[in-house]
């Protein structure tokens, strides 16, 4: 029997994989954005869509947290139209050097993922700025 944590990890994995698929990424792009270990191949991604949580790796866990933030921010930004999130991910943005968010994440790695999350979630960006309420 799976533990609650494993079930939660699997649900998070499936949520991230669903979003990455909806955003139209290739297998190689998914591997890159998730920063999966070099031993992983795009043919291995099916297990994450089905019944296997992402590996318990510090880099992967960090990327998953950022991606979950992006997914949730898109959901709250476009609560009535889930397709708008996927559209937003492929439209160029001035604050991303006129690149689309997916391009920024693919080209800039973790920095790009954080930039996209910051663009979507002002609370996250505010926290990164070091601002404080006095």
- Would residue 68 count as lying in a domain? yes
Calculate mean pLDDT across residues 101-111.
96
- Would residue 27 count as lying in a domain? yes
CA distance 99 to 47: 31
pTM above 0.85, yes or no: yes
How does residue 122 score in pLDDT terms, banded at 50, 70 and 90? Answer: confident
Calculate mean pLDDT across residues 99-119.
95
Domains in the chain, number: 1
- Would residue 76 count as lying in a domain? yes
- The pLDDT of residue 96: 93
- Would residue 134 count as lying in a domain? no
Which residues have C-beta within 8 Å of that of residue 68, sequence separation ≥ 6? Answer: 12, 15, 16
- Would residue 116 count as lying in a domain? yes
- pLDDT tens-digit series, residues 31-50: 999 999 888 888 889 999 99
- Would residue 133 count as lying in a domain? no
Nearest to 31 by CA among 19, 22, 18, 44: 44
Calculate mean pLDDT across residues 117-122.
88
pLDDT over 90 at 110, yes or no = yes
Domain range spanning residue 103?
4-128
- Would residue 72 count as lying in a domain? yes
**Are residues 75 and 85 in contact, defined by beta-carbon separation less than 8 angstroms?**
yes
């Amino acid at each position: 029997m799976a533990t609650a944590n494993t079930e939660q990890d699997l649900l998070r994995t499936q949520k991230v994989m669903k979003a990455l698929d909806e955003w139209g990424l290739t297998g190689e792009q998914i591997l890159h954005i998730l920063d999966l270990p070099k031993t992983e191949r795009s043919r291995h991604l099916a297990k994450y869509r089905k019944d296997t949580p992402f590996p318990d790796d510090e880099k992967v866990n960090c990327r998953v947290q950022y991606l979950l933030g992006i997914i949730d921010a898109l959901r709250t930004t476009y609560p009535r139209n889930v397709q708008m999130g996927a559209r937003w991910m492929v439209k160029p943005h001035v604050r991303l050097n006129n690149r689309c968010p997916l391009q920024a994440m693919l080209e800039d790695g973790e920095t790009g993922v954080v930039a996209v999350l910051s663009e979507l979630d002002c609370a996250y960006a505010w926290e990164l700025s070091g601002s404080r309420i006095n």
